[in-house]
Amino acid sequence: MRGHVTGLDYSEVSCEQSRLANAEAIAEGRMDVVCASVAELPFADASFDVVTTVESFYFWPDPEANLCEVARVIRPVGRFLLVADVYLREGLDPDTLANIRRYDLTVLSPEGYEELVLRAGFASCRCHLSDEGWIAVDAVR
């Protein structure tokens, strides 16, 4: 069985660049690219086995409501993976902290991610931390 990938971004420019970079997969029906916001995902309930977000959660307009929307489109026992290159922790670089405040980015501690994801309707959540400061939030619907 072959899988299908749907890419989503709210930026028309990013969507067009993705369509160009993935033209072959799109032409073969293995992929599509949708321009929309995580605030209102244009998909039916329980549409996806897996949803991922890499280095974009910081910018989501309403993190808890947006996570509820993500949970809505994931099938029961489907997975959600959030990857970010920074999370709140002791010893975080002062310039990084200043940028988080300056740009009003959503950057949480591992416990904060777990609490937020569980409140949004996921059944379980685990955070994995790298030595380089990355976090992977792995949740099951």
Per the prediction, the chain carries an average pLDDT of 96
45 neighbors 52 (Cβ within 8 angstroms): no
Q: What share of the chain is helix, strand, coil (3-state, %, to 5)?
A: 35, 30, 40
Please tell me the distance from the alpha carbon of residue 111 to that of residue 90, in angstroms, as a whole number: 13
Question: What pTM did the predictor assign?
Answer: 0.93
pLDDT tens digits, residue range 20-48?
Answer: 999 999 999 999 999 999 999 999 999 99
Do 46 and 24 fall into the same domain?
A: no
Residues 44 and 93 in one domain: yes
Regarding whether 6 and 51 lie in a shared domain, the answer is no
CATH code assigned at 87: 3.40.50.150
- Counting the structural domains of the chain, the total is 2
Which tokens belong to 117?
């994801």
What residue numbers bound the domain in which 69 lies?
38-140
